[in-house]
Amino acid sequence: MVSLQHLDLSSTQLEGSIPETFGNNMTSLSYLDLSFSYLTGPIPNSLGNMSLLAHLNLRYNGFTGSIPESFANLETLTYLDLSGNMLNGSIQIIFENMTGTLTFLALGYSGLEGHIPKSFGEKMSVLAVLDLSYNRLRGSIPESFGNMVKLTYLSLEQNLLEGHIPEALGNMSILEHLDLTDNTLEGTNSRTSIVYVTLRFEQVWGNFPTFQASLGSNTLHLGNNNFTGGLPSSWKNCSSLVAFDVAENNLRGTIPSWIGESLTELAILVLRSNHFNGSIPLNICHLQSLQLLDLSVNHISGSLPMCIGNFTEMSKVGGMHATISYSISIPVPVTSATIFIKRDDKIEFVWKGILSEFGRTLGLVKSIDLSCNMLNGDIPSKITLLVGLVSLNLSRNNLSGHIPARIGNMRSLDFLDLSNNHLLGRIPQGLSLIDGMGVLNLSNNNLFGKIPTSSTSKLQSFDASAYMGNPGLCGDPLSNKCPGEELTTPPRFIEEAGNGEDTDKFISHGFYASMGIGYAVGFWGVLGTLIFNKSWRFSYLNFLNDFANWIHVFAAVRKAKFLRTLRGL
């Protein structure tokens, strides 16, 4: 065992604790992986005797306590992953026992608490990956983090951090992933190059960070904060952005035209719940990869762009990938290996009236939500070209005109809300052909006529509230029937016990007797008079002859007039 250099026992369901003498006879070991097992107890101090150890992975076990003091002797250690354990220690003590040679440090989900030491970034200046997520860390992010200029991945999400986001983060010129979710931080104007940024649910205050994105940047999540002002023009350099989410802030001004001009790779654009005004820029139609557009709950006015049918991805049924993912590759110096970190993007948006988070199925969602604005004019007919759309919400605007006649082409629709507008006319027959629709709301418009039916129609299966507020609508499921559909109730006779059969016979005999008498009187009352009264017969025949002549003359005059009109054209 003295000459053993590589030991991988990961995912082998090992149980129990590691013997204290475990590392005494493995002085040549450089790689040790015991991750994803059922090991418990403290991390043995003898691991610090492996003076050549470069890679140590104890991820997702049940280790308790803290990091042994002997770890400070591991001067060749570059990779340390202790995440997913129950260390329950102070990060200050763990920090004191760490070596400054680490390039990869993962301590997420470990129950760590306390303040991040102010000198953390000075000692760990060669770190490329730092994951301290899902712990109970307090205080502020140290300014010394700016010394970790080799960081490509930094995750501090789900802690109790507060204060300012250090401007020193702007020194991290190769940072690709920054996640500060679920803290209580304040914004800054850092300039850095980032692939994935998320500050969601943090209550970050102030103006937006002016991140100077690199060509590899592809996701930007800054929603659910208190950012003010407008979108920085410097973000137009994020030409590779795939997801752009700034929902639930206090942003104002118009939607920048550079979104459609420069961010041509966008698949997700979420500007929900801000204070944007003005019209939707026409060049937003250049976003041919767009599959999720959410501009709801703003003050956007004007008409819907006529080019809305240009969203090529929305015109395709289904999707190539269920998820929208990104990956980061990080070289490991000692082992000459490369670590690939892959994450599936997640987005929150309103689905069927409920704010929902989509991750693993995000790539399959194709949705437009422009509700709760001040849009006016007609719904463009070209919107029906988006046959892959599964959700369309245009409710609570000032839209007028008719529902597009070819809306039945949008067979993928599962959710359609056009309520609280000023739409008029009949409901298109094609709408009854969308047999997969789960939610429909056409209430509070000016629609009229019969609700369409067909052999496969689901329109009658929706609650009547989906059609309420349209006084001219009739038919199922509404209680008011269309003209000619009122059911006449036949007279009901109360039968007395014992004479039901006699009553039926009386009705039958009386009915047939009345028919016979009526026929005789009507037939002989007219024809009998004409047969036996000669003067009446001649008068009646002359009337029929005069009427036929009048019809012939009227038709001839109309024909001549029509021919003269054609010659004059």
400-419 pLDDT, tens per residue? 999 999 999 999 999 999 99
From CA 181, how far away is CA 21, in angstroms rounded? 41
Q: What is the average per-residue pLDDT within 144-164?
A: 88
429 token code pair? 């027959």
State which amino acid sits at residue 211: F
Among the residue ranges 143-157, 257-271, 481-495, the one predicted with the least confidence is 481-495
3-state secondary structure 358-372: ECCCHHHCCEEECCC
3-state secondary structure 259-318: HHHHCCCCCEEECCCCEEEECCCHHHHHCCCCCEEECCCCEEEEECCHHHHHCHHHHCCC
Which residue, 217, 183, 222, 182, is CA-closest to 206? 222
- Those residues whose C-beta lies under 8 Å from the C-beta of residue 256, and which sit 6 or more positions away, are 230, 231, 233, 236, 281
DSSP string, 326-369: EEEEEEETTTTEEEEEEEE--EEEEETTEEEEESTTGGG--EEE
**Which is more confidently placed, 522 or 233?**
233
Burial (CB < 10 A; 0-12, 13-18, 19+), residue 158, is: buried
Q: Phi and psi at residue 150, in whole multiples of 5°?
A: -95, 0
Cβ atoms 188, 164 nearer than 8 A: yes
Q: pLDDT tens digit string along 453-470?
A: 887 788 999 999 999 999
Conformational region of residue 447, where left means phi above 0, alpha means psi within -120 to 50, and beta covers everything else: beta
Edge-first strand listing for the sheet containing 398-399:
205-207, 226-229, 250-254, 275-278, 299-303, 374-377, 398-399
pLDDT of 103 over the 70 cut: yes
Among the residue ranges 94-108, 251-265, 298-312, the one predicted with the least confidence is 94-108
**Which is more confidently placed, 60 or 492?**
60
Among the residue ranges 176-180, 325-329, 455-459, the one predicted with the least confidence is 325-329
Q: pLDDT tens digit string along 340-352?
A: 554 555 566 666 6
State which amino acid sits at residue 421: N
Burial (CB < 10 A; 0-12, 13-18, 19+), residue 93, is: middle
Among the residue ranges 221-235, 355-369, 403-417, the one predicted with the least confidence is 355-369
Q: What is the average per-residue pLDDT within 52-73?
A: 90
Per DSSP, what are the bridge partners of residue 449? 473
Q: Determine the pLDDT at residue 488.
A: 46
From CA 179, how far away is CA 197, in angstroms rounded? 6
Which residue, 10, 8, 74, 5, is CA-closest to 36? 10
Which residue, 454, 303, 290, is CA-closest to 373? 303
Q: What is the average per-residue pLDDT within 221-242?
A: 80
163 token code pair? 């204060």
Mean pLDDT, the chain, rounded, equals 79
**Which is more confidently placed, 557 or 192?**
557
**Which is more confidently placed, 243 or 527?**
243
Q: Which residues of 480-497 are buried (b: 16+ CB within 10 A; e: fewer)?
A: eeeeeeeeeeeeeeeeee
Confidence of residue 241 (pLDDT cuts 50, 70, 90): confident
Omega prior to 477 cis, within 30 of 0: yes
pLDDT of 16 over the 80 cut: yes
Which residue, 435, 410, 415, is CA-closest to 315? 410
From CA 356, how far away is CA 394, in angstroms rounded? 18
C-beta neighbour count of 464 within 10 angstroms: 13
The count of residues in the chain is: 569
- How far is C-alpha 428 from the geometric centre of its chain's CA atoms? 27
Handedness of CA 275, 227, 155, 150 (dihedral sign): positive
- Those residues whose C-beta lies under 8 Å from the C-beta of residue 140, and which sit 6 or more positions away, are 161, 162, 163, 164, 166
Q: Which residues of 309-341 are buried (b: 16+ CB within 10 A; e: fewer)?
A: bbbebbbeeebeeebbbbebebebebeeeebeb
67 token code pair? 């990091």
CA-based end-to-end distance of the chain: 107
Q: What is the average per-residue pLDDT within 77-92?
A: 89
